[in-house]
Amino acid sequence: MRHEPRRSPKCPACGRWLDERKLRNSEQTAYLCPRCQGCWFDGGDLESALSVASRGLAAPKDAPEGDRPCPRDGTLMRQFDYPQTLARIDMCPRCRGIWLDARELQEIRVVRSDLARRGKLERDAPPVGIKGWLIQFIDDSFDDLFGGG
């Protein structure tokens, strides 16, 4: 029985085969779509590749299911905003892989690097839902009252 080499995953946005790429200044691999320029990170790889990435990120339970299948296991990915950015990402709830559309990686890197420089970067994934909103409201209120940030 002949075994074929493992093929790269397919782009969840446009269906093309993704190109495997080593990331600059990192040993991590990402998969880039040659057509739409989106990129796929297997579960945990974005955290390893990007020093300002949110640690322990998981798709919130109330995150809506999108129409894009996970390139690894076919599960429909969940859509939500990456913490402290405007990047709307897709994440597989099963394997925790992350799909970033073109320029979302740059958005995450630039915004979170600036927040880190100013001492306002959340290192761990924040609580989500009502609890997350309440914690953020309390933090913002303390900053307003006591001159934080």
Paired tokens of 23 = 């990331």
**pTM attached to this predicted model:** 0.76
- Distance, CA of 14 to CA of 73 (rounded, Å): 17
Tens-place pLDDT, residues 3-51: 444 567 999 999 999 999 887 766 778 999 999 999 999 998 998 888 8
- Distance, CA of 77 to CA of 93 (rounded, Å): 7
Tens-place pLDDT, residues 101-128: 999 999 999 999 999 998 888 866 655 5
Residue ranges covered by each domain of the chain: 19-146
Q: Name the 3-class secondary structure at 97.
A: coil
